[in-house]
Amino acid sequence: MIALLHLGRIHDETPALRSFLAERGIASELVPLPSLSDGATTDCGSIHWGRFDRVSVRDCRDSHRHPDFLPRIRALAEHLEALGVPLVNPLPVIVAGHAKSDYLPQLEQEGVALIPSRWLPRGWQGSLVGLLEVCGWGEAVLKPAIGAKSWHTYRVCRQGLGLVITAADGTTPVDAGDGDGWLARLAKDGEVCVQRFLPAICRAGEFSAVFLGGHFSHAVAKSVAAGGWIAHEGFGGRNRLWQASAAERRWAAAVEERLRRRFGVLPYARIDGIRDAGGELLLLECELVIPRLFLSEGEAFGRYAEVLLGPTSTRMAW
């Protein structure tokens, strides 16, 4: 029996995954992530966790909207460890993968070419125009270090002495003269990532490589809607299976290998890149905890099922 933890919403592909598992005699159950009270989970005792063989966190969508997500996971992980029930995702991976500001700077230190980025600490205040001038960027993308689905993601463009700030949905939610105050309010809640805007996103989209159990599984090309700048289906973009070239696979494998050095073999990872002006892939982010894995596009339900079953489980022939 596999427990699929969630926070009220699950991945669109999860029902198909559960049907796939059920057809092969593998039971799964959707289980709400226990809440916290006085430092302990309030309902760990109400769920018989010992009946599960493994517990997965991949369906904990919107975790960025739950400030207590990591404490809740830590408390449950401690309870599961006492029962001998493993998490599909090792706790260090969940903790590090939750915030981009944890793993991305380290990958850059290890030689991975990132999209040029600056990290603003919680509570940062200053001149947004001045920040872009120091970086030498005419345009940038701002987003929280902890986020998903382009939540609070904005494109900032220098225009004369001012700025134009555009949200992911195309609206302009900020008055031209309030850029500094707006950024201070954004940074009040947590770290902010400022990345150079790469125009290639509008014509070439994003490249996503999916690894399952430490092996390359499939790749997806994510395009941008006409007139847009976000490669996400929620904003009119499209996803399609992509036959990755040898160079693209080498690029993704090099990133995955560095993740493996730190965490060991990961159950899954989605590695996203955008091309620079010269056509070279630069790392955008690595989705290690709650990613959409494009299992339908990659016909990868069987490979993902093996990840859920775990290395010590009896493998089935898919």
Lowest mean pLDDT among 46-50, 74-78, 242-246, 256-260: 46-50
Confidence of residue 240 (pLDDT cuts 50, 70, 90): very high
Cα→Cα distances 195→64, 101, 131, 132, Å: 19, 12, 11, 10
Asked whether the predicted pLDDT for residue 276 surpasses 60, the reply is yes
What pTM does this model have?
Answer: 0.91
Question: Which range has the top average pLDDT, 36-45, 98-107, 289-298?
Answer: 289-298
Cα 17 to the center of its chain, rounded Å? 20
Helices (H), 8-152: 14-23, 69-83, 91-98, 100-109, 128-135
What digits encode the pLDDT tens for the residues 55-94? Answer: 999 999 999 889 899 999 999 999 999 999 999 988 999 9
Q: Which residues contact 192 (CB under 8 A, 6 or more apart)?
A: 119, 120, 124, 142, 143, 144, 145, 183, 186
Whether 97-113+200-308 and 2-88 are alike in CATH topology: the answer is: no
Judged against a pLDDT cut of 50, whether residue 312 lies above it is answered with no
Which tokens sit at 85? 């029930």
Which architecture, in CATH terms, is 97-113+200-308?
Answer: 2-Layer Sandwich (3.30)
Q: Which CATH class is domain 2-88?
A: alpha beta
Orientation angle between helical segments 91-98 and 100-109, nearest 10 degrees: 90
Confidence of residue 317 (pLDDT cuts 50, 70, 90): very low
Q: Report domain extents, the chain.
A: 2-88, 97-113+200-308, 117-196
pLDDT tens sequence across 86-138: 999 889 999 998 888 889 999 999 999 999 999 999 999 988 888 999 999 99
End-to-end C-alpha distance for the chain, whole angstroms: 19
pLDDT one-digit tens code per residue, 151-194:
678 999 887 777 888 887 777 766 656 778 888 888 888 899 99
Residue 81: the pLDDT is: 94
